[in-house]
């Protein structure tokens, strides 16, 4: 979920042992909406990334991109996002879905970040999708 979703998609592009992957609310490129991110999100990323300044944090966020990786994903990829996500808006998931060869996109129009407000539905859908891909 979130940056974990980003790393799941990135891993799928380069690690051939992965058979199927889910990107739940991951960014396509973390700095694209930097100025619109909640201040707490920017501050948390700055602290966790080891950045000394806000500008350095933004530069580090720009390194988290799927621009070089998306087209390399050739395994089943489920992309899940929320229409009301203020951290990774749906444009991130839509862009990845357009560029990844085998992507399936599922957006919850009223979903928040990580679709946590619809977890009872989205987690079941994710589990069923993974089971279907991994049992074949």
Q: Where are the domains of the chain?
A: 3-29+64-135
| Summary mean pLDDT of the chain | 96
pTM: 0.94
21-63: per-residue pLDDT in tens? 999 999 999 999 999 999 999 999 999 999 999 999 999 999 9
DSSP letter at 121?
H
Quote the pLDDT of residue 96: 98
Residue 53 backbone phi and psi in degrees, to 5: -135, 165
Domain 3-29+64-135 CATH assignment equals 3.40.50.1820 = yes
Tell me the C-alpha distance between 6 and 3, whole Å: 5
b/e 55-70 (16+ beta carbons within 10 angstroms → b): eebbebbeebbbeebb
pLDDT digits (tens, 9 = 90+) for 95-116: 999 999 999 999 999 999 999 9
């Amino acid at each position: 979920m979130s940056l974990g979703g980003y790393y799941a998609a990135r891993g799928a592009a380069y690690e051939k042992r992965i058979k199927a992957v889910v990107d739940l609310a991951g960014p396509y490129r973390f700095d694209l909406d930097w100025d619109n991110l909640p201040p707490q999100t920017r501050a948390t990323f700055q602290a966790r990334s080891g950045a000394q300044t806000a500008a350095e944090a933004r530069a580090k966020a720009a390194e988290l991109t799927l621009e070089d990786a998306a087209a390399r994903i050739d395994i089943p990829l489920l992309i899940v996002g929320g229409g009301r996500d203020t951290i990774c808006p749906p444009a991130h998931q839509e862009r990845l879905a357009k560029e990844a060869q085998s992507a399936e996109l599922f957006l919850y129009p009223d979903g928040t970040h990580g679709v946590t407000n619809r977890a009872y539905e989205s987690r079941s859908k994710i589990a069923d999708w993974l089971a279907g891909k991994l049992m074949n």
